[in-house]
Every structure is written in structure tokens, then in C-alpha cells.
Structure 1
Amino acid sequence: MQNPEVFILAIESSCDDTAAAVLKNDKVLSNVVANQLIHNQYGGVVPELASRAHQQNIVPVVDAALKKANIQKEQLSAIAFTQGPGLMGSLLVGSSFAKSLALALNIPLLAINHMQAHVLAHFIDEEGFEKPSFPFLALTISGGHTQIIKVEDYFTMTIIGETTDDAVGEAFDKSAKILGLPYPGGPLIDKYAQLGNPKAFPFTKPKVAGLDFSFSGLKTAILYFIQKKTSENPNFVTENLNDICASIQHTIIEILMNKIKLSVKETGIKQIAIGGGVSANSGIRTTLKETEKKYGWKTYIPKFEYTTDNAAMIGIVGYQKYLSQTFENSNVVSKARIQF
């Protein structure tokens, strides 16, 4: 029988966002994120600066999450934290805090795989959002990952396709950098793409066998294209920004959709769930909903706040682990790379 009141404090610190959430069973009571804007001036995340900012942010963020949830720390049933993958310095801040607090409160510790959390974010009890049933295919798309995962139950997941080089979020950000857009550039490409013609400039899609992805060749093709056009007309990017962004986004979405179609064909599974920061992209969301009607798929798109790095998704995995009594001792180690 399900415990009527399991309170999980979740901590996420895999990259440059310090996040804490409190869940009561599968319902989110609070979900607090402190962003680190310092990285914008460097055009990317600086690991040393990220870990220092986590140290500054973690106590006030956890305190804010508990207050917003109206929960005393003594009411907590367990503490979940991101074990990996991620930046080691950042992960260590979150794991050290979680271990110390769990020890002080004498409650269980739950180590969570960040990528599993992106997949299982769909199981947060959120009004207006359906939960997928098993089995389903998960497309996790972020700045560091691009994967198609066959999900058979909460903890039985198999990667059936992944990127061989750049992740899709990296492809967006690097393309934006080529265009002279500030970091992070992915959301800006999405913004300008909505005003442009997606077929204005055709870019060659990389040929990769099976369900794997490649984005480095596309990035190079965009670079050469922009160099050639700006040598002919120095104002080319400014004059055609919307169309360039629309064309880049259209090409990336086609690459993703072609692999999803192939994965549905190979597995026979017609339930598709997306997760990860890039799933916030409006073009990807719209295209996925269109294909749902076209091919008879059932698609699941999480609430916007659960797509980027957040602690609520760590908490929902923690809740499932708590139910199965899958606890860790304080010797558990953080891992920059970790498999399902």
C-alpha cells in the first residue's frame, strides 16, 4: 500500500543551475532554481565558477524550497540528489550537502541519475499533463545529451540511439555563436525562427546509420555557408537572420524526427515522450504534436519548468526509489559519467 505522506527533498547541481524541490509523493510542493548568469559573458559554462556559485546558492535555495513547501526539515522522509552525469565540481557540492543533511536528520539518501530524471519527469502529478504508460520511447535532448531511450518501467531503460559527437543543444548554441548571437543561443534561434522561412536555406543532413545522431557536420556546413555569404555581403546575417534561424531549426528538427520515425518502426512502440532542456523548443513541440495526428502516435511533452535542469525531476525518481527502498549509504560517489 502506498504511503500517504512521503516527503522528498531533492537537490540538483549537475551543471550551472542550483535547484531544490520538495515533493509529497508524486506531487511537487516547491521547485526552486537559482540560475548562474556569470557564464553568459564567457559564452559557455565555466566549471570552476559553477561549483563556487553552487556553494553560495545551495543553502538559500534549499531553505527557499522548504519554506515554499511549508515543510519543516524534520518532516522529510528522504533526500534525493543528482549523482551524475555532470560537472564533477558541481555534483560534489550537491552530494556533500545531501549526505550531510541526511546524516543529521537520520533519514535515507537517494542517488539519482540525471538522465533518468529527464525521462521520469513525465510521472510528476501535474494537472493537465498525462503520464505515459510502459513501454514508451523517450527522446532526451539537451546541451549535453541526445538520446532515444526505450523505457520498459521506472528503472529498466535502454539507450537505442545517441549522438556520436555534438548534442543537439550544443548544435543550437554553436550555430547561434556562428551568427554572432549571445550565449545561450538556442532559445534565440527558436525566437527568430518563428519569424522566418524554414526552407529559405537548405542544409545537408548528415547520413548516420541506425538510430544514432551526428550534429558536428551540420555545424561545419552552417559555418562555411555563413562565411561564404558574408564574404559576398557583409550584412547577410543581419538581413536574413530570421530565415537563417528558421532553416537551421527546420534541419535539426528533421534530423530528430527522422530518427524517431525509424525508432517507432523498429520497436513498434508509438508512445513518444520528450525531455531535456531542448524540448522547450517551440518548433520541436509543434512538430511532435503534428506527427501525433499524422502517424497515430501518442506524444507526451512535460510542463515547461520540468524540461530544463530542475530538482522536481530528481524528486520524482527519488520517490520511486523510496517506494522500492533503494537507498544509498554515505559512501556513494558522484560520477561525471554514468550509465542507466
Structure 2
Amino acid sequence: MNSPLSRLICRATLLAAGFMLCLQAAFAQDLDEVRKRGVLRHLGVPYANFVTGSGDGFDVELMQGFARELGVRYEFVQSNWNDVIGDLTGKEIRYKPSVQEIGSRPVRGDVIANGMTILPPRLKLLDFSEPTFPSAVWLLARPDVAVTPIKPSGNREQDIKATKARMGVGTTFVMDNSCLDPTLYDLEGKGLKLKRFTGSTNINDVVPAMLKGESDMTLLDVPDVLVALELWPGKIKVVGPISEEQRMAAGFRKESPELRKAFNAYLARLKADGTYMRLVKKYFRVAPRYLPEFFRDLPPAR
């Protein structure tokens, strides 16, 4: 039987089987599969106090509590900024000149949580939870660099413009495919001395490199700035903002809507009962002073 009709039937059968496998794979990545497997795999990159690398952190405790909420075991899966989205989606990603899927890779986790900023390129690849933390990108410098911090005007747009104008005095660390990517803030092609940070894929290493004199200034997001100011008091000055206020959140596969929905319900409860602010106080105690609007209406820590 090798007639055109039999070949057509065979081809249709294979296509249908392939479709069912894809459909099963999509369902297998959602809430039911996490519960059946009995473990929530938390993908994280050591960063600021979200994932400290010592077994704790703001997002580590959030995800440990979420695993308990689901009645499953918690498992931390360490990744890096270059690979973490691919480790979640099972797809090799190329970001420039545009975001493209260029291959496949093993899926290593169920959710990303490490102070990940919601950025337009990432929205093409992930579905984010409700915001877990506020952020923004600021310009930092060493005290010996001849740059004067701006005087806040009360107008964020004017403050950003004034901060960018001060970048001309020296080199500034930036990092592609991260919240420190200069293309996000219209910094490319402006005659600025932008220096790609290539010492590692860990944003935690940017400030130490700047303090060693490898760059005069650096972009950095606010949560990491707060940690840096405590680690190196008197050795860093904040010049001003580079971005509008941003939001951080947990990242989920687009095939995991029920898992994301369950996390959002869990997060809302933590914010309502004061558990969320207890974690903020533990890991980012001065954050409400620097980004008050996000925390203003939340119940106090319990």
C-alpha cells in the first residue's frame, strides 16, 4: 500500500501524533505536573539579596513558601544571566539584533525568581507574575571620579536627562541582555564611553570591578545599589537615575498559566498578611525609604 491516499493518511496521522505530543508537553509544564512530580524547581542566579548564593535570599524564601503552599518539595537550580531563560523555556535564545529562538535545550526549572526586571525583550519569552519588588536603574561612581550627583528636581524625566549628561566625564560599565543594557535607555550612539562588563555574567561583580578602577562609573539597579551602599560605605556615590521606576517579578513559561496564577494568589496573601514586608525588612530594610510608592499601602511586617 503505497498509494497517494495511504501516504496522505500516514502523513496526517504523524502530524496529529506530533500535535498531541506538543499538547501533552505543554500541559506537562504546568501546575498539575509540578504537583505530580512533587517538587518545585526554582531557577535562580545569585544576585543582590534576592538569591545570596548561601541558601537564602528574598526570592529563595518566597519560592520555599510557594512550594509549601503547593504541597511539594523545594529545589533550587542555579543558573546564570545568559542561560536562565533558556533553562526555563527549553529554547536557545539570541537577543541581538532581535530576540529569536535558535534551538532547543533541556528544561531545568519551573520558575525564575532572582530579582528579574520586567523588560520588553523578556516579555516576548516569558509571562511574569504580579510585581514582587520595585526597581530602577541608577548611575553610580567612585568618590574620586569628577562627577557631581544631580540635585533632584521632582521631575523624573529631567533628572534622567541631567544624569545622562554627567556620563561624559568617564567610562561607564554596562551589561548586554540585562537590566543594565544601554539600548534600553537610549545610551548607544551618543558619544558616551560605554564599557561592556565582561568579567563575569554575575551583576554582583560589577561594583567590585568599578572600585578596582576598571571603570569610572556603572549602571546598577536599585536593589543592588542598596546592598552595595551597605557593603562599601563611603566608597560609592549615587549620581542619579537612568530609568523610570521598574518592576521585578517571577518569570514563568507561557505554557504555565495555572502555576503563575497560583503564585499570584500566594503572593497576594503574603502582601495582605504582612509576611511580604517581613521579608523586605529582612533582606532590603531601607528599600521603602528609596522607593516608597511601591510599599506605601502594604500592611506592616508581622
TM-score by length of 2: 0.28
Bigger Rg over Cα: 2
Counting helix residues as a fraction of each chain, which structure ranks higher? 1
TM-score by length of 1: 0.26
